[in-house]
Structures are given as structure tokens and as C-alpha cells.
């Protein structure tokens, strides 16, 4: 291999290496870098050639760092973190009320709760572009994958400013067609003969599924999905009973069944990086959303 001349070290090449190492594969890193996998693979091999040693042990499904690769990775990580911190600091000094804001929330929350206040905000602030990301992943505020996150999980990373944004009530819902066909669930028989629409198996331990199993242990799991909106649609089409956010169940035209009281509610947390606390357009959006969305929905 050709020995690396430190004077010719290219941050773009180091960035390619860092993203691949962090994500664990070319497949995962390629869309983040907006490069094709073949291009990414060529650039990675070129960087290894210039370093003069192998940075990865390659297997069929994953790339594992060598000892030399781990050393390079730690330095690349430090450089990347400093670079992202610089970008946040520069962005956080902007007082102008124009530019782009990236807001991330779940699909149902974006559609049922955020769409109206964000629309009003956009009309009132035509020079600000709001991108709403309905991403299932927990996006990284340090890397500015989003400027503002709304999620059910509290933030634990240092440097994140957070506050409780709203409390979400949940209820048991079904379509009128389903109720006419099957009837209301019976406590005495544990919901025998009824179909349930729930989150998928990776969410078996969430509170509303435990609540369903407690009250309706004999009901059958009919439809499972990680999308609350798909659950609401399946309920609307008569597939069964589902625990949904009350605002989603009501907006879907479903009937709330209150035979067992309501399932446990959940808090939604708002978070953004402290480096952006002086960003004028972000402060404006935060104040608008806090005023527009009730403390309990």
C-alpha cells in the first residue's frame, strides 16, 4: 500500500471512513453521505491504500475495525464532533427570521397535532421553511439531523435543552361497524371473540399493550404495526379494537369504548441543542408551538 502523506489528508476521505465505521456497513452509510455504495467502497479502499494499512476486517454482513482502524476512528470522531459543534455555534448566533428548521415527530403526531400550528406558523413567517421529519429513528441533535425533536423518550445527552411539551391521553377505540358486528368486549370472558390491533412485537412491553392484555387476555391479536395511523385505519375498516391517542381516534371517526377506564397516558418531550438556543427562528417556532398545543391532548 502507498504510505499516507499527512499533508495530503483529505477530510472528505476521513469522513467517508468515519461514517462507514460508525454505521457498520456501506449500506447504512451510503444514504447519509449521499453516495452510491460502489462509489463509497472505492473511496474507502483508496483511503486505506493511502493510510498504508487495513482499517477494517471484512465479513459478509459487516465491517469490523482493526486495531489501526480503531485509532483512526477515535481521531475522526473527535474531528467530526468539533466540526458539528462549530456548525451549531455558527447557526446558533443567527438572529434573522429566515432559513430552514428541521422538526422531527412521529407520523400521527405530526398529522393530528402539528400540521395546523405549523401551517399557521408558515403563513405568518413566509421566509422560514419548516421541514417536518416523520422519522421513526431517534434523530441526533448533536449532528443537527433535526433542530427540534418531539418524542416520548426523555433526552439523556448532555447539551440538550428539554421540557415537557404535552401529555397524550389514550383510549380504546373501534369502528361503529365493528361494534355492530361483534358487540362491546365483555370483561367477564376477557374479550373472547374480539380482535386486537396493536403495536408490533418489538413494542410488547409498552404500557398500552400491557393494559390491553390485562383487560382483554382472551382477545386475539389480529393486526400489528409500528404505525399508529395504520392501526387507526385498520380500526376504521372494522379489523378490531385498538388503543390509540385520543386525538387520533377522534379524528379518525372511531368510537371510544370506556368500559375499563382509559389506558395510561404518555408525556411528549421537546428537545433542542443548547448551541441553538439563540437561533431566532427556532425560538419563534418553539414559542408558537408551546402556545398552540394544549398541555394535555
3-class secondary structure, 66: coil
Closest CA to 238 of 228, 252, 258, 218: 252
d(CA 108, CA 114): 9
Residue among 136, 131, 106, 85 nearest 274 (CA)? 85
Please report the domains of the chain, with CATH numbers, ordered by start residue.
6-91 (1.10.10.10), 93-168+267-292 (3.40.190.10), 170-264 (3.40.190.10)
Q: What's the whole-number mean pLDDT along residues 239-255?
A: 97
pLDDT attached to residue 137: 63
Instruction: Compute the average pLDDT of residues 179-205.
Output: 91
Query: Comparing 1 with 269, which gets the higher pLDDT?
Result: 269
Q: Tell me: the pLDDT tens digits for 88-144?
A: 566 555 556 789 999 999 999 999 999 999 999 999 999 999 999 987 666 676 667
Task: Enter the pTM of the model.
Answer: 0.69
Beta-bridged to residue 171, according to DSSP, are 244
Confidence class of residue 34 from pLDDT cuts 50, 70 and 90? Answer: confident
- The whole-number pLDDT of residue 122 equals 96
> Of 19, 67, 84, which Cα lies nearest the Cα of 47?
19
Q: Looking at residue 248, what is its pLDDT?
A: 98
What percent of the chain has a predicted confidence (pLDDT) above 90? 54
Q: Which pLDDT does position 8 carry in this prediction?
A: 55
Q: Which residue has the higher pLDDT, 68 or 175?
A: 175
- Asked if residue 6 has pLDDT above 60, the reply is no
Over 80: is that where the pLDDT of 204 sits? no
Half-sphere exposure of 175 (CA within 13 A, CB side): 16
Ranked by mean pLDDT, which of 60-74, 131-145, 213-227 comes out on top?
Answer: 213-227
Q: Count the neighbouring beta carbons within 10 Å of the beta carbon of residue 61.
A: 8
Average pLDDT in the 160-168 region? 96
Can you give the pLDDT at residue 1?
A: 46
Mean pLDDT (whole number) for 249-270: 95
Mean pLDDT for all residues in the chain: 88
Please state whether beta strands 63-65 and 56-58 pair in parallel, antiparallel, or not at all (unpaired).
Answer: antiparallel
Amino acid at each position: 500500500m502507498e504510505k499516507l502523506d499527512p499533508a495530503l489528508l483529505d477530510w472528505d476521505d476521513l469522513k467517508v471512513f468515519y461514517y462507514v465505521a460508525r454505521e457498520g456497513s456501506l449500506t447504512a452509510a451510503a444514504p447519509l453521505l449521499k453516495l452510491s455504495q460502489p462509489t463509497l467502497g472505492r473511496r474507502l479502499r483508496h483511503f486505506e491504500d493511502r493510510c498504508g494499512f487495513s482499517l477494517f476486517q471484512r465479513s459478509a454482513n459487516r465491517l469490523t475495525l482493526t486495531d489501526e482502524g480503531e485509532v483512526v476512528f477515535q481521531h475522526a470522531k473527535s474531528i467530526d464532533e468539533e466540526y458539528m459543534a462549530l456548525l451549531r455555534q455558527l447557526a446558533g448566533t443567527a438572529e434573522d427570521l429566515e432559513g430552514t428548521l428541521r422538526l422531527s415527530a412521529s407520523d400521527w403526531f405530526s398529522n393530528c397535532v402539528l400540521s395546523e400550528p405549523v401551517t399557521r406558523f408558515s403563513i405568518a413567517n413566509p421566509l422560514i421553511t419548516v421541514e417536518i421529519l416523520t422519522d421513526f429513528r431517534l434523530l441526533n441533535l448533536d449532528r443537527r439531523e433535526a433542530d427540534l425533536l418531539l418524542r416520548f423518550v426523555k433526552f439523556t445527552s448532555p447539551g440538550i435543552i428539554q421540557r415537557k411539551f404535552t401529555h397524550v391521553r389514550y383510549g380504546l377505540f373501534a369502528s361503529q361497524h365493528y361494534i355492530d358486528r361483534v358487540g362491546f368486549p365483555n370483561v367477564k370472558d376477557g374479550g373472547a371473540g374480539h380482535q386486537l390491533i396493536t403495536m408490533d412485537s418489538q413494542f410488547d412491553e409498552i404500557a398500552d399493550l400491557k393494559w390491553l392484555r390485562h383487560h382483554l387476555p382472551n382477545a386475539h391479536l389480529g393486526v400489528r404495526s409500528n404505525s399508529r395511523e395504520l392501526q387507526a385505519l385498520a380500526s376504521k375498516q372494522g379489523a378490531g379494537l385498538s388503543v390509540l391517542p385520543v386525538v387520533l381516534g377522534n379524528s379518525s371517526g372511531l368510537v371510544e369504548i370506556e368500559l375499563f377506564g382509559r389506558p395510561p397516558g404518555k408525556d411528549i418531550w421537546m428537545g433542542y441543542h443548547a448551541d441553538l438556543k439563540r437561533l431566532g427562528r427556532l425560538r419563534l417556532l418553539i414559542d408558537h408551538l408551546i402556545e398552540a398545543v394544549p398541555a394535555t391532548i
